[in-house]
Amino acid sequence: MSMIQEVPTMTTKEKPQRAIPEGLTPFDLKQMYEAMIMTREYDERCFKLQRQGRIGFYAGSFGEEACQIGTAFALEQKDWIFSSYRQPGVAMHRGVPLQTMVNNLFGNAEDIVQGKQMPVHYTHKAHHFLSISSVIGTQVIQAVGCAMAAKVKKDDAVAITYFGDGGTSSNDFHSGMNFAAAMKAPCIFALVNNQYAISIPVQKQTGVEVLADKAKAYGMPGFQVDGNDILAVYKATREAILRARRGEGPTLLELKTYRAGPHSSSDDPSRYRSKEETEYWLKRDPIALFREYLTEMELWTEAWETEIRENAQARLSEAIKIAESLPQPAWETLFDDVYSYVPQALADQKEDILAHESGLELTNEGEFPL
């Protein structure tokens, strides 16, 4: 049976409760805030890089920092993450090196995938952080498969997958939800409802008013959580993970938030949403809300804020400087990691391209083999 939790709207004028959620310490709370700031600084810098023509594309997560860091803090290193392109904060918290992420944006020779993926398609095997494809929803069924593997192996790991409100219309969402519920896979479905699938508002995407209600059709619990309240996100995710580890199956978490910026560097949100709507949600900035909580807990100071922002900016500047100094991937890497073995046709094409690159005569009378 699906369980829906309506979360009352909290404004910046309201004081949060002083209680620290179970599983967290004051030190954890400060780390969470630092991670949110780093995520915001990363987004702002990367959009500037794209506007300056230094990288080709970027998809930001402005306003969604609580969804990222709140869920990430509830996970353990043994757990598996199948993200969308809007979770850089999850990758950084998990331990994916900042340099690795920035190298992906530039697609340089040190990029793990050698420029074969678009920017913001991060991956890091050692930290159980799996790359998405650009096709909406594919990570959902991949996460379910991984969760089932963990269940079969009895290794006590869970898988979490992130997707947007638009992703709930994909075939892979329905297939993944149904299979996970039927097989009691230890999988967490983190539905980041930022209320727009590029330019289409959620009201035009589905007849369901509360997206968490979709869990009812598959026989799993579904909760709607205030996605701008990092502690609410953490508590809901922690409970879902504990439930999965107990062998009770998957949970759908609808993290209701707002995409404060554009869908990507190729988008102009002013063409499809009002200034008033955006201003309303900016007043519920998750970083500002959490700052008020930390101030109430006497854990925040202006000097500390300045320090962590300057540190984040310095780390970004250094990573970007290194990434820009690296060469592009060598031509021969175009053929690597495509097949488990190299077909003869591909080997011939590689030989021809390398010959052309070195100024030698092409084989097959200058034609590429079919």
pLDDT digits (tens, 9 = 90+) for 324-366: 999 999 988 888 888 888 899 999 998 888 888 777 554 455 4
User: Of the residues 40, 263, 284, 291, which is catalytic?
Assistant: 263
Distance CA 32, CA 9 (A): 21
Can 272 be counted among the known catalytic residues? yes
Q: Could you tell me which residue, 2 or 326, shows the higher pLDDT? A: 326
pLDDT score recorded for residue 91 = 98
- Spatial neighbors of 206 by CB under 8 A, at least 6 apart, are 165, 168, 169
Can 259 be counted among the known catalytic residues? yes
Other Cβ atoms closer than 10 A to 57: 15
Q: Judge whether 357 and 331 are in contact, CB under 8 Å.
A: yes
Give the tens place of pLDDT for each residue, 18-62.
Answer: 689 999 999 999 999 999 999 999 999 999 999 999 999 999 999
- Spatial neighbors of 109 by CB under 8 A, at least 6 apart, are 326, 327, 328, 329, 330
**Which two tokens mark 49?**
């890089």
Work out the average pLDDT over 133-142.
94
Q: How many helices (H) and strands (E) does the chain have?
A: 11, 8
pLDDT score recorded for residue 338 = 83
Question: 14: pLDDT confidence band, cut at 50, 70 and 90?
Answer: low
Among 113-122, 172-181, 355-364, name the one with the lowest average pLDDT: 355-364
Give me the residue label for tokens 């002083």: 18
Can 356 be counted among the known catalytic residues? no
| CA-wise closest residue to 33 among 307, 261, 279 | 307
pLDDT score recorded for residue 200 = 96
- pLDDT more than 90, % of the chain: 85
**Residue 175 in this model has a pLDDT that exceeds 70:** yes
User: Of the residues 121, 124, 259, 284, which is catalytic?
Assistant: 259
Q: Judge whether 20 and 29 are in contact, CB under 8 Å.
A: yes
- Secondary structure of residue 80 in the 3-state scheme: strand
**Residue 69 in this model has a pLDDT that exceeds 60:** yes
Q: Judge whether 112 and 123 are in contact, CB under 8 Å.
A: yes
In the chain the domains, ranked by start, together with CATH numbers, are: 26-325 (3.40.50.970), 331-366 (no CATH)
Task: For residue 19, give the DSSP letter.
Answer: P
Distance from the first to the final alpha carbon of the chain: 55
Q: Could you tell me which residue, 220 or 9, shows the higher pLDDT? A: 220
Please report which helix (H) or strand (E) contains residue 146, including its range: helix 138-153
Among 2-6, 211-215, 283-287, name the one with the lowest average pLDDT: 2-6
- Spatial neighbors of 163 by CB under 8 A, at least 6 apart, are 84, 136, 137, 139, 140, 170, 173, 189, 190, 191, 192
